[in-house]
């Protein structure tokens, strides 16, 4: 089934039609706040939605080891929404291995200056640290998850949610549930809230499952997915099951 994109104005209209209310019952500002809350509920129901995946590059600076997410999301390949999480980093000739900040601190004490070609990276406080500290400028290639474009209060009436169209009616169901609750009808509110969760779980499985050509790997015991021969599997893990 193909879903049509819904604009902010269309979501408002559909909800008011279902609940049988008008702007005197729930004004546009309040409705948009509710719609925005539903959008955030969907967005943050999964940590890494595949439709927010992006690729970008950044240039290292000689003698600089730390790079903020803001700097990585900037030019030359600007990501307007900003980066939410880094998935992998590589240079022209090799993939950098992710390590925890504790391991990075242990292997690279502050009183020992190490510089050269980076082979490892860690992530802390929205900042990437490279090991070793780059001794020359070079391009790093990044796969990441971007932030969503905000939707709800402040959005234009003709804008659509930054979600695949299959999620648009689900957002409408959430808003309907909240509208019934605002109208002090808990029975209908609960029914629509339950329907929202059913619809979200069903559609989420279509987007958050393992890619068809890449099987999911559970209980891997190597600290390096590449050394294990797993290549760049998005669902490879260093232990346990990663969703």
- 82, 119, 198 from 155: Cα distances, Å: 18, 43, 27
Higher pLDDT among residues 227 and 133, named by residue: 133
Predicted pLDDT of residue 168: 97
pLDDT above 50 (res 144)? yes
Please, are residues 151 and 35 in contact by the beta-carbon 8 Å criterion?
yes
Please, are residues 129 and 66 in contact by the beta-carbon 8 Å criterion?
yes
**Across 2-11, 176-185, 226-235, least confident range:** 226-235
Instruction: Give percent above pLDDT 90 in the chain.
Output: 73
Indicate whether 104 belongs to any domain. Answer: yes
Query: What span, in angstroms and rounded, lies between the C-alpha atoms of 193 and 187?
Result: 10
- 59, 91, 141 from 74: Cα distances, Å: 10, 18, 13
- pLDDT class for 200, splitting at 50, 70, 90? very high
Structural domain count, the chain: 1
Indicate whether 65 belongs to any domain. Answer: yes
> Token pair for residue 191?
């029914």
Nearest residue to 182 via CA among 33, 45, 13: 33
Indicate whether 41 belongs to any domain. Answer: no
Query: What span, in angstroms and rounded, lies between the C-alpha atoms of 144 and 52?
Result: 8
Indicate whether 64 belongs to any domain. Answer: yes
Predicted pLDDT of residue 225: 47
- pLDDT class for 15, splitting at 50, 70, 90? very high
> Token pair for residue 237?
């893990």
pLDDT above 90 (res 183)? yes
Indicate whether 157 belongs to any domain. Answer: no
Q: What is the per-residue pLDDT across 114-137, written as a single tens digit (0 to 9) for each?
A: 889 999 999 999 999 999 999 999
> What's the domain range around 70?
50-146
Predicted pLDDT of residue 215: 63
Q: Dihedral, CA atoms, 87, 91, 95, 98, nearest 10 degrees?
A: -50
- 37, 41, 118, 121, 207 from 134: Cα distances, Å: 42, 40, 6, 12, 38
Indicate whether 233 belongs to any domain. Answer: no
Cis peptide before 160 (omega within 30 of 0): no
Indicate whether 99 belongs to any domain. Answer: yes
> 207 has which bridge partners?
none
Q: What is the per-residue pLDDT across 60-96, written as a single tens digit (0 to 9) for each?
A: 999 999 999 999 999 788 999 999 999 999 999 999 9
Query: What span, in angstroms and rounded, lies between the C-alpha atoms of 14 and 8?
Result: 10
- pLDDT class for 234, splitting at 50, 70, 90? very low
Predicted pLDDT of residue 113: 76
When pLDDT is averaged across residues 1-20 and rounded to a whole number, the result is 92
Indicate whether 14 belongs to any domain. Answer: no
């Amino acid at each position: 089934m193909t879903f049509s994109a819904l604009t902010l104005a269309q979501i408002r209209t559909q909800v008011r039609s279902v609940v049988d209310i008008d702007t005197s019952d729930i004004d546009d500002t309040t409705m948009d706040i509710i719609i925005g809350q539903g959008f955030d509920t969907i967005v943050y129901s999964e940590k890494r939605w595949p439709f927010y995946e992006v690729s970008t590059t950044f240039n290292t600076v000689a003698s600089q080891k730390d790079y903020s997410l803001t700097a990585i999301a900037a030019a030359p390949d600007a990501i307007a929404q900003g980066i939410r999480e880094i998935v992998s980093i590589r240079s022209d000739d090799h993939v950098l291995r992710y390590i925890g900040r504790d391991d990075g601190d242990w292997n690279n004490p502050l009183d020992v200056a190490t510089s050269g070609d980076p082979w490892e990276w860690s992530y802390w406080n929205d900042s990437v640290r490279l090991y070793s500290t780059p001794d020359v400028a070079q391009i790093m290639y990044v796969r990441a998850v971007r932030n969503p474009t905000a939707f709800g209060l402040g959005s234009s009436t003709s804008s659509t949610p930054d979600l695949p169209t299959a999620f648009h009616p689900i957002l409408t169901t959430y808003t309907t549930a909240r509208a019934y609750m605002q109208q002090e009808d808990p029975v209908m509110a609960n029914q629509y809230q339950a329907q929202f969760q059913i619809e979200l779980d069903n559609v989420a499985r279509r987007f958050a499952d393992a890619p068809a050509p890449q099987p999911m790997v559970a209980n891997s015991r190597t600290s390096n997915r590449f050394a294990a021969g797993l290549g760049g599997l998005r669902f490879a893990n260093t232990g346990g099951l990663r969703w």
